[in-house]
Structure 1
Amino acid sequence: MNQLPFAQLQAFLAVARAQSFSGAARELSVSRSAVSQGVRRLEQTLGVVLFARTTRSVSLTDAGRQLVAAVAPAFAQTRAALAEVSAKPGEVVGRVRLTVPPSAYPMVIEPVLPVFRARHPRIEVELVFEDRQVDIVREGFDAGVRLEEYLERDMIALRLSDAFRLIVVGSPSYLDEHGTPQRPEDLLRHECLTFRSRTTDALYAWELERGRRSWRVPVRGGLVSNDGLASIKWAEQGLGLAYAMEPHVQTQLREGTLRQVLEPYAASVPGFYLYYPSKAQRSAALELFIETLKEVSAQRRASTKLAAKSKTKSKAKAKARSKSKT
């Protein structure tokens, strides 16, 4: 190859991200035939097939996956370098593209955005909200946010939140009418607001634990969603029991619109993490975003611990006053 086929590689990467020639054409603002021709020429130049094509789907071959892993980080770095050249002295421009579960956004990303945008107005932040497992290199993301159990291999991981519990909640009206479950198996007799995984397309079994014992309860109900935050709203309306991240329902529990049930069986998870490729050189934009994430996350975690400590002291004082009266 006397010349590097940049336009063909750009078309190839766009198809890999969109898993569609039409989607790639829309992304690049060119015709579908131009994308198809670019990919075909690249395949001819390399002497390999990069995509397995059917009338219904487009998927990468082994050679295609190998090429994505090799060139996608380089293309991202090139794009960042071109943006940085246009910047004023000391100014950073560019883009940070993240895949984020909807449930993680209010906990770890939303508090960071105002701070980051105020400091770096010329860095674009693109958020794609989804729960499915994502190949961030192949799909053109700089980084992702997931629970520890869903982190991809060979990734650098940065903790964003403390561990928290997954709890079962219901409205007072629902519990008054249907009763309160006392054991995990009781959930099988209740209307449960279920979650369908975008990765496996299966209904999620609620995970409970007590001591060394654990349960995966195949709950069922008349309302199904792929958004865990929606089930919290439904639970408040008395439509069933919800399985929620405890930080998401603290306000409802405090105000009494929801009650926790099966508290001794609440499962704990290590928390949310930011993850990104260990082999790829990080852009200046991503470096600054990570720096802000670390700062804001540390402040919030310290504030949470201080509030918990203050709450514990208040309870102890109240208990002491109660004893003194008796």
Structure 2
Amino acid sequence: MRRDELGDLVAFLTVAEERSFTRAAALLGTSQSSLSHTVRRLEDRMGLRLLTRTTRTVVPTEAGEQLAETLRPAFNDIRSRLDALGAMRHAPGGTIRITSTRHAAETILMPAVKGLMQSYPDINIEISVDNRLIDLVNERFDAGVRLGEHIEKDMIALKIGPEMRMLVVASPDYFARHPKPATPHDLTQHRCINLRLATVGGLYAWEFEKDGKPLNVRVEGQFTCNDVEMIVDAALGGFGLACLPDDYLLPLIREGKLVPVLEDWSPPFPGYHLYYPSRRLASPAFSLLVNALRYRS
């Protein structure tokens, strides 16, 4: 590949991501007319229309989208390696962008990054709280924090918390009015608080296992919510049984505010992990973050 061909690909990808010749030209330090000529030259060379231009926006064609998807990981990898090489000349610094669920961010991520920022003033941390499973490369995150069983196989996953269990709980007041369930099948006789999953929009089917045999139960009740903290509040208020990860519940169980049941039906599963692309070349700042988060039992 000739040098000018590589430059043409960089120009095209910048326009495709910015959806604007004006913004792309500003980023690349060139004129809009020169950038338009560069992209047109690439289209002529490939014999394909890559961008659809209107008076207000620029949208990749199907061929353009496929080319962008091919180029993006390669250029991100080059950018990451150049950043890492540049970081070798300086003290640890730069910005690390992390996506995380709220509870993991509050209980695991923030304690670690506070210490990191205090020790290394040139390291900047950006945390995006989101329950969705994020495409780190396309959305330009350096890493994410999620439960281990939800991480894609092509990612590096680092354990940053203990194993967890899903626990079924209710308030002492609720159990003063209702008998405790002996098996998951008894849940059909109880008011249960449903969790609506943010990622797919459906209701979470309560998951159990005993003697190696899994069992999923669909429950019913007065209250449904997509926010775990509000479900905990409803359980504390005596509105029914809730099934949530134990790290939300253990302090309230120790205080006697919630009572666990069906514990012998609740096996452990992988807890929180830091995950990041396997191609990522770790900068000194990112290596420090990994070391600060690494779970030490």
TM-score range, shorter chain: 0.7 to 0.9
- TM-score, normalising length from structure 1? 0.71
Aligned-pair CA distance for 1:176 = 1.9
Aligned to 1:235: 235
Q: Distance in 2 between matches of 1:50 and 1:225?
A: 42
Give the counterpart letter for 2:244 in structure 1: A
Q: Identify the match of residue 12 of structure 1 among 16, 25, 39.
A: 16
Structure with higher RCO (Cα < 8 A, 6+ apart): 2
Q: Distance in 2 between matches of 1:7 and 1:77?
A: 20
Residue 244 of structure 2: SS of its match in structure 1? strand
Q: Distance in 2 between matches of 1:273 and 1:14?
A: 32
CA gap 1:65/1:199 in 2 versus in 1, 3 angstroms: farther
Write out aligned runs for 1:175-324 (5 A): 175-294=175-294, 297-298=295-296, 301=297
CA gap 1:268/1:14 in 2 versus in 1, 3 angstroms: farther
Aligned to 1:121: 121
Residue 268 of structure 1: SS of its match in structure 2? coil
Q: Distance in 2 between matches of 1:138 and 1:226?
A: 26
Q: Distance in 1 between matches of 2:234 and 2:270?
A: 27
Gaps of 5+ in 1: 16-20, 52-56, 302-326
Write out aligned runs for 1:31-42 (5 A): 41=39
Give the counterpart letter for 2:110 in structure 1: E
Q: Distance in 2 between matches of 1:262 and 1:171?
A: 15
Gaps of 5+ in 2: 53-58
Aligned-pair CA distance for 1:155 = 1.5
Aligned to 1:310: none
- Kindly, what percent of the aligned residue pairs are identical? 30
Q: Quick check: 1:205–1:216 contact (8 Å CA) kept in 2?
A: yes
Q: Over aligned residue pairs, what C-alpha RMSD do you find? A: 3.3
CA gap 1:63/1:240 in 2 versus in 1, 3 angstroms: farther
CA gap 1:44/1:223 in 2 versus in 1, 3 angstroms: farther
Q: Quick check: 2:155–2:277 contact (8 Å CA) kept in 1?
A: yes
Q: Distance in 1 between matches of 2:185 and 2:138?
A: 41
- TM-score, normalising length from structure 2? 0.78
Aligned-pair CA distance for 1:14 = 5.5
Q: Distance in 1 between matches of 2:223 and 2:75?
A: 43
Q: Distance in 2 between matches of 1:94 and 1:162?
A: 29
Residue 112 of structure 1: SS of its match in structure 2? helix
Aligned length: 271
Residue 252 of structure 2: SS of its match in structure 1? helix
CA gap 1:254/1:102 in 2 versus in 1, 3 angstroms: same
CA gap 1:232/1:139 in 2 versus in 1, 3 angstroms: same
Aligned-pair CA distance for 1:7 = 5.8
